[in-house]
């Protein structure tokens, strides 16, 4: 009997130890699962928070990309012939100049290095303004700074006031907004093809052909000579149903400065014709 009791006691003890070990093992496993679960929840929460933070930072708008290593390729055919006799400027009326470029600036730094060369010619100043408009469409802060670089101070307020209403991505749902406005000045683009320009982008300009728009010499408001140029716009419908006309812009050559700047250009940001209802094409944003 003693031997039987001894074996029964040993078996009970072994069972107790086994149960205790199993319990300890299960507890450790549960702790591990709880720890892993906490880590997983933390990772998921961090991921969600990072997405929310990115959305808050972007405010639903596109962020300017990094500056391309290669600058915009710009080519100008000819230049406006200008001679000075004292303060009197003489030009060749109706003289034409063409400017081509391969892309639009992606950010302010990209614009600045391009405009440093464009500002050396009157035609370049006009094209520079189109590039600044394009930049403004995507980033109003950078676009405003670009416009400040290529406009006389008297012209900035009116320009930005109009662009903020008719050429801003924030207004894209407004029928008054025209994202194709800049494209209307590029060769090949017209309402009938949803303003799809040919590449490289081409802008055609000419010196105003009329004697009544002869260069204006400086007044008490500014020091320099104001030249009236014209830029070809494909977004104006003529009486015969065709599209295209010249629009006036005024470029200022300041006394003592080698560079030019935009002086007055209400026609440049005037509305153009809507995309034709006869086409199934849609406007593609310029790159």
| pTM, entire model | 0.76
Phi then psi for residue 200, to 5 deg, are: -65, 155
pLDDT (tens, 9 = 90+) of the chain, 287 residues, equals: 444 433 344 434 434 334 444 444 444 444 444 444 444 344 334 433 433 343 334 443 444 568 999 999 999 999 999 888 777 888 999 999 999 999 999 999 999 999 999 999 999 999 999 999 999 999 999 999 999 999 999 899 999 999 999 999 888 888 889 999 999 999 999 999 999 999 999 999 999 999 999 898 876 556 789 999 999 999 999 999 899 999 999 999 987 777 899 999 999 999 999 999 999 999 999 99
CA dihedral of 7, 12, 16, 19, whole degrees rounded to 10:
100
Q: How far is the C-alpha of 233 from the C-alpha of 243, rounded, in Å?
A: 8
Helices 140-150, 108-118: crossing angle, 10 deg rounding: 20
Q: What angle do CA 198, 200, 204 make, to 5 degrees?
A: 80
For 8, counting Cβ atoms within 10 Å of its Cβ (0-12 exposed, 13-18 middle, 19+ buried), the class is: exposed
Q: How far is the C-alpha of 205 from the C-alpha of 207, rounded, in Å?
A: 7
- The structure tokens listed for 28 are 């450790």
Q: How far is the C-alpha of 123 from the C-alpha of 76, rounded, in Å?
A: 8
Q: How far is the C-alpha of 261 from the C-alpha of 125, rounded, in Å?
A: 6
């Amino acid at each position: 009997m003693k031997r039987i009791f001894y074996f029964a006691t040993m078996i009970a003890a072994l069972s107790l130890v086994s149960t205790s070990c199993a319990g300890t093992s299960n507890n450790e496993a549960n702790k591990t699962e709880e720890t892993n679960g906490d880590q997983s929840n933390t990772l998921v929460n961090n991921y969600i928070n990072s997405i929310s933070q990115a959305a808050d930072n972007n405010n639903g708008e596109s962020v300017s990309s990094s500056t391309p290593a290669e600058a915009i390729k710009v080519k100008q055919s000819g230049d406006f012939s200008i001679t000075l006799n004292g303060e009197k400027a003489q030009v060749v009326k109706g003289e034409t100049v063409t400017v081509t470029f391969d892309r639009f600036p992606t950010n302010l730094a990209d614009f600045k290095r391009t405009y440093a060369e464009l500002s050396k010619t009157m035609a370049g100043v006009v094209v520079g303004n189109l590039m600044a408009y394009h930049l403004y469409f995507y980033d109003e802060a950078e676009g405003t700074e670009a416009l400040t670089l290529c406009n006389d101070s008297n012209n900035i307020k009116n320009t930005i006031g109009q662009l903020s209403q008719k050429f801003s991505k924030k207004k894209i749902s407004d029928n008054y907004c025209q994202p194709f406005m800049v494209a209307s000045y590029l060769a090949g683009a017209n309402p009938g093809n949803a303003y799809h320009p040919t590449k490289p982008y081409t802008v055609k300009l000419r010196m105003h052909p009329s004697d009544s728009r002869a260069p204006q010499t400086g007044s008490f408001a500014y020091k320099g000579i104001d030249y009236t140029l014209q830029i070809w716009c494909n977004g104006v419908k003529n009486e015969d149903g065709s599209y295209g006309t010249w629009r006036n812009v005024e470029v200022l050559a300041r006394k003592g400065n080698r560079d030019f700047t935009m002086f007055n250009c209400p026609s440049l940001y005037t509305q153009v014709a809507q995309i034709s209802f006869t086409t199934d094409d849609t406007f593609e944003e310029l790159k």
